[in-house]
Amino acid sequence: MVLFLYGEDSYRSRAKLKQIEEKFKKTDKSRVNFIRIDGERNPWKNIEKEILSPPFLHDKKLVVVENFLKKRGQKFDEAVAFLKGEKNSDGTVVVFWEDSKPDERTAIFKFLNKPKQADRFDFLDAAKLRKWIAEAVAERNLKIDAQAAEVILGLVGSDLWQISGELDKLSAYAGGRKEKNNLITAEDVALFVRGKFDENIFSLTDALGTKNKKTVFKILNEQIESGLEEGYIFAMLVRQFRILLQIKELVTRDFPFLSVGDPGIKQKIALELGLHPYVVQKTLYQIKNFSLPELKNIYRKMLALDMKMKRGNFNPRAFLELFIAEVCSV
């Protein structure tokens, strides 16, 4: 029997794999018939050997092959021929697990990706993420208010690995506060969670919008001193200005008479651009600081700086300061 688990959401695919492993371990407490193989580093002959060897003093065997489809320059013909021949020992279950979405053009992917054999794990959409967070918090015997969940999603996005880790921290903190009935609040999230899209990036963009160099450099220094790399900060600024430009263009074109405080505009823009409503909400209040030509000019300059940074041997800090000078002079 062969199973195939893959997809961008490696947290859920790993959880599914763990379920399979735990179920098998209940039948074979010795665990001698549970084999895990690094498929990316081991040649197929080693994997084939483990699959062919019969279970030891047991009628079942579980072989987990991790990231075999990541092998570069591999044609996989030998593996496909073996698996098609069904030569594996009776009672042996082989699970191919990939921590990402593999190349769908390969022969091995086409063979493994069959109904009832393959399970694909895509990132959850916003509604399912909210439900997942609520259930994960309930499992920790806590509660979370709606605003706190929205802030987590705005900061972290769909990365369940990070969300789970952040919930562990928040649970340890909130669980000891009897006065708040074990409730995780938005204030708790702001205090503990440093997401992929950090709140300070919004503050930095605000300061750039008002051309307040003193505040810009204050926030920048605080970010760097806290351990963030200059290249990361610049990449996040590029992302935020791209979002600013997208939202400004959309509002100018489709919603010229709507107030940015209109409760319906946030959902419309989020749906149109595929952004999280929290990010849209924060960005909507920034577009007033920039005209559309200014944003286009800034974004062009950012892309030019990004290309120079990738092609040359420049100090990232110097690039950030050059970018700040460019924006504040627009």
Residue 209: which CATH number?
1.20.272.10
Q: What is the pLDDT of residues 162-182, one digit of tens each?
A: 899 999 989 888 876 666 578
Average pLDDT over every residue of 113-138: 90
Average pLDDT over every residue of 110-133: 90
Q: What is the mean pLDDT of the chain?
A: 82
Examine the domain organization and report whether 31 and 90 are in the same domain: yes
Nearest to 129 by CA among 12, 226, 246, 234: 12
Examine the domain organization and report whether 249 and 139 are in the same domain: no
Whether 326 and 301 have beta carbons less than 8 Å apart is answered as: yes
Highest mean pLDDT among 131-135, 150-154, 174-178: 131-135
Percent of the chain with pLDDT over 90: 19
Of residues 157 and 11, more confidence is placed in 11
Which residues, in sequence order, are bridge partners of residue 120? 6
| Residue 194 neighbours by CB under 8 Å, 6+ apart | 155
- In this prediction the pTM is 0.61
Examine the domain organization and report whether 297 and 225 are in the same domain: yes
Which residues form the domain of 75?
Answer: 2-120
Residue that is last in its domain, among 87, 120, 153 = 120
Examine the domain organization and report whether 306 and 242 are in the same domain: yes
| Residue 326 neighbours by CB under 8 Å, 6+ apart | 298, 301, 305
Of residues 237 and 140, more confidence is placed in 140
Residue 149: CB atoms within 10 A of its CB come to 22
State the DSSP code for 27. Answer: H
Examine the domain organization and report whether 180 and 218 are in the same domain: no
Instruction: Please tell me the distance from the alpha carbon of residue 167 to that of residue 163, in angstroms, as a whole number.
Output: 6
Examine the domain organization and report whether 243 and 292 are in the same domain: yes
> The tokens of 94 are what?
């082989």
Examine the domain organization and report whether 209 and 176 are in the same domain: no
Residue that is last in its domain, among 101, 120, 139 = 120
**Degrees to nearest 5, angle at CA 240 with 238 and 244:** 115
Task: Kindly report which listed range (145-149, 195-199, 244-248, 298-302) carries the lowest average pLDDT score.
Answer: 195-199
Examine the domain organization and report whether 178 and 240 are in the same domain: no
Which residues, in sequence order, are bridge partners of residue 2? 94
Q: Which CATH number do you get for residue 158?
A: 1.10.8.60
Q: Which amino acid is at 5?
A: L
> The tokens of 280 are what?
């849209």
Instruction: Please tell me the distance from the alpha carbon of residue 274 to that of residue 260, in angstroms, as a whole number.
Output: 18
Residue 132 has pLDDT above 90, yes or no: yes
Q: In which element (H, E) is residue 96 found?
A: strand 92-97
Examine the domain organization and report whether 150 and 245 are in the same domain: no
Number of domains into which the chain is organized: 3
Residue 74 has pLDDT above 90, yes or no: no
Examine the domain organization and report whether 318 and 214 are in the same domain: yes
Instruction: Please tell me the distance from the alpha carbon of residue 264 to that of residue 68, in angstroms, as a whole number.
Output: 47
Average pLDDT over every residue of 23-30: 83
Average pLDDT over every residue of 60-89: 82
Examine the domain organization and report whether 115 and 137 are in the same domain: no
> The tokens of 45 are what?
């002959």
Provide the pLDDT for residue 85. 78
> The tokens of 28 are what?
């074979």
Q: Which CATH number do you get for residue 17?
A: 3.40.50.300
Residue that is last in its domain, among 104, 120, 136 = 120
Average pLDDT over every residue of 114-132: 89
Examine the domain organization and report whether 159 and 219 are in the same domain: no
